[in-house]
């Protein structure tokens, strides 16, 4: 998430009421999680296991819970609770704004786009030309929808990321300030849910089609011309490359990549990244031919044992 205008390190530290290491006027351009961070951004880290990764990332400012040596060209924000203070920044720069109607006055809707009754369109939403938004769709603030997009009834775009920190008093929610972006010619089936990014964008690229009851987690990027069948659950921070097919009831773990033109057969659990151009099946996931051979061999075991007993 980029700020509307650059801010100084001192100003950011003042918002959070914390100490900092670096020049007062050190430029801060935005804030992002480690997997999407860019130069000028703040990234947060609150566990020693990830200190080096954050300090050596392209982030310009590290929000950290320990005083450490500051790498050259970077700045530090020293916080007792980086998770909490990252949330404070999200609330400051991307506060929740109450809606005052079914279609926000700040929403922009393109030519020949049809919006059916009882659809909610939030603040700053942009919808392109020749789209069809069916009844009872909810499009949360800041979503961006291209041209010739179809969204079927009951789908929700822009719901919060499923991201929590486990504290003694309960689960603490990481607030979401990102967006959902649908490119041209995307179709979203009925009762789908697409979470917005925490600080970045959840993106579904040109020509991809989702069946009914598909969930897409935060910050996931789905490539062009993909087909995703019903009851598939895609976790956060997943990269699905172009022309991938996911058949029904596929589930993925977070932070993986599915390569271009891969085919994932129904009820597969995608437990790791897989290369493109191949077919996969099973949990844990394997190439489908190998997995089906294993299943055939397993069926032969009772007969083999019976022969041994004779």
Tell me which of 7, 134, 215, 218 is the catalytic residue.
218
**Does residue 218 carry a catalytic annotation?**
yes
Alpha carbon distances (Å) from 195 to 57, 86, 141, 276:
26, 19, 12, 25
Residues belonging to the active site: 218
């Amino acid at each position: 998430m980029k700020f509307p205008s650059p801010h100084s390190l001192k100003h950011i530290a003042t918002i959070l009421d914390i100490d900092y290491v670096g020049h007062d006027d050190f430029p801060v351009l935005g804030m992002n999680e480690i997997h999407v961070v860019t130069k000028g951004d703040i990234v947060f880290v609150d566990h020693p296991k990830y200190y080096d990764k954050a300090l050596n990332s392209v982030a310009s400012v590290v929000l950290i819970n320990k005083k450490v040596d500051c790498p050259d060209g970077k700045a530090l924000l020293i916080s007792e609770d980086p998770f909490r203070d990252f949330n404070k920044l999200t609330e400051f720069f991307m506060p929740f704004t109450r809606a005052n109607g079914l279609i926000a006055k700040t929403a922009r809707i393109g030519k020949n786009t049809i919006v059916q009754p009882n659809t909610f369109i939030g603040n700053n939403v942009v919808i392109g030309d020749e789209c069809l938004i069916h009844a009872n769709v909810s499009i949360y603030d800041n979503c961006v929808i291209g041209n010739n997009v179809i969204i079927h009834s009951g789908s929700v775009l822009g719901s919060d990321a499923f991201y929590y920190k486990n504290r003694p008093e309960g689960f603490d929610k990481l607030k979401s300030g990102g967006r959902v972006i649908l490119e041209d010619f995307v179709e979203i089936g009925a009762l789908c849910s697409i979470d917005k990014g925490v600080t970045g964008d959840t993106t579904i690229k040109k020509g991809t089609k989702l069946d009914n009851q598909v969930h897409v987690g935060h910050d996931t990027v789905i490539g062009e011309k993909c087909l995703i069948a019903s009851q598939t659950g895609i976790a956060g921070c997943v990269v699905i490359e172009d022309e991938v097919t996911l058949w029904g009831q596929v589930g993925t773990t977070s932070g993986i990549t599915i390569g271009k033109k891969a085919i994932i057969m129904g009820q597969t659990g995608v437990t790791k990244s897989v290369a493109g151009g191949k077919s996969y099946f099973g949990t844990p996931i394997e190439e489908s031919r190998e997995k089906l051979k294993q299943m055939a061999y397993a069926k032969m075991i009772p007969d083999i044992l019976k022969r041994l007993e004779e």
